[in-house]
A and B are shown apart, each in its own frame.
Chain A
């Protein structure tokens, strides 16, 4: 077996526990149904490009983006725990290189993100299937958003995990940052109709771009804004990944 596959195997073994599955899959599903239907009374319809979406369809697709972001927390947690419990050094004094360690984290995020996003898509499908317009041109948008989003947020989580020293600090910082990303975004409510300050703030948040591109893919709507968002996502992912890799490879032993 290739060293990276062995590291991914190990990453999945240490990360997959009941708490994580609840947070990663059960919670979003409950949220889609409870919040989706509860808020339908307040938000009937959401304009989206040339069509209008039901709120449950809107939030279910938003959850996919939210979920991809959440999966990437795993990479931060793995790096953080490995440093704290000595496994970072132990792995690097074993038959592995730093590059393999970094790549194994990227693949771990990819696998967890893909599996949980697929599950949410499958379960949420009945909510948005009437409005779905998948086609050969738009499906790649979903894939593009998933991959760049995973790399972008995974890099952010990794950067935080390499910069902090105390464990309380790590949990507080990572939860604050990701909570901000989650709620100041178009994942749960549309930018249209939000107060101007908030809707501007939405666009300082990569999750908005991720979610918008996922929706564009699922509902088959593409325009200049979506194209711009894709560029921002792609460039952001590359830059943050380079920074994260640099920090990880400089990490003192």
Chain B
């Protein structure tokens, strides 16, 4: 099976409001698919649709080869889901809640025991294993919630902003644990608003805004498409305004501010050559120079901004 998730014209409306606006999605088996978008974009709603928690208003979904609208229970038996909302049994200890969760998924007792131990150490929960879920911090609870989902076997795992509330080391630990599981054949649908995470983890990324998917690609291609632009910073010692000297250069945006020239350009190599030439012929020495690729963060912001802008203009 090539695609784990295939959704067509998936629609979810609440009254007049459309939370998910006829999206198409394809997620390949064995990959980590990042679902990126600002708050309120429709990520959680999409996840609730794909995991059959709520029924769509329209469209089709095929999950793991099963028609998810006709046979939601069959889908749920094969997937794991970590919802954005916290979930825990307040009266149970950390280890007991993992154990019981495995029991709920009908995992054999012996395997359950092994997995509890493995997950307690993988998610750094050994020290708090005897504590009640009611008595641990929110971040620790989130770790228990994510760890718990690995108690059972599954083919596809949905994670809705799983790293929110985790400290940097726990965050990195979780992402690396996910990578290992994917090597073993798991497919991941991963929702986040943090771009570095998506960049670090995901094979493919879809960007959603206002219920619509506005870009789908690999992190690399997204960068190439939207982020060929680089930022060049040149420090010069000369205290005279060089703006006039550089105003002839094409294909870029140049700012000058007290000794620092900042250039944004899609053709950074060419532009850089020109600038250096001009500076050299005017005997202005360069003190420092840096070229940084545009981060996924900036791409994301610009893509979302463009989609908002085109929405607004078409809405008039």
A:78-101 near B, CB below 8 Å = 81, 85-87, 89-97
Q: Does residue B260 face the partner (Cβ distance < 8 Å to A)?
A: no
**Do A93 and B88 touch (CB < 8 A)?**
no
Complex CA distance for A184 and B109, rounded to whole angstroms: 48
Q: Does residue A14 face the partner (Cβ distance < 8 Å to B)?
A: yes
Complex CA distance for A87 and B89, rounded to whole angstroms: 7
A interface residues, how many (CB within 8 angstroms): 23
Of B46-54, B224-232, B265-273, the stretch lying at the interface with chain A is: B46-54
**B residues engaging A (CB < 8 A)?**
48, 51-54, 73, 76-77, 81, 83, 85-92, 96, 100, 103-106
**Do B91 and A7 touch (CB < 8 A)?**
no
Residues on the A chain within 8 Å of B103, using CB: 6, 9-10
**Using a Cβ cutoff of 8 Å, how many contacts connect chains A and B?**
61
Residues on the A chain within 8 Å of B104, using CB: 6-7, 10, 91, 94
3 tightest CB-CB pairs across the interface, nearest first? A86-B87, A90-B87, A95-B77
**Do B92 and A85 touch (CB < 8 A)?**
no
Determine chain A's interface SS by DSSP, over half rule: helix
- Contacts A10-B100, A14-B89, A86-B85; is A92 near B77 (CB within 8 Å)? no
**Do A93 and B81 touch (CB < 8 A)?**
yes
Complex CA distance for A1 and B85, rounded to whole angstroms: 29
Complex CA distance for A103 and B135, rounded to whole angstroms: 31
Selected from B51, B77, B90, B105, the residue in CB contact (under 8 A) with A85 is B90
- 7 pairs from A and B in contact (CB 8 Å cutoff): A1-B106, A14-B89, A89-B85, A93-B81, A94-B81, A94-B105, A95-B106
Contacts A6-B106, A81-B90, A93-B81 known; 10 new A-B pairs at CB < 8 A: A13-B100, A14-B92, A85-B89, A86-B83, A87-B88, A91-B104, A93-B53, A253-B48, A253-B53, A253-B54
Q: Does residue A17 face the partner (Cβ distance < 8 Å to B)?
A: yes
Residues on the A chain within 8 Å of B48, using CB: 253
Residues on the A chain within 8 Å of B100, using CB: 9-10, 13
CB of A94 to closest CB in B, whole Å: 6
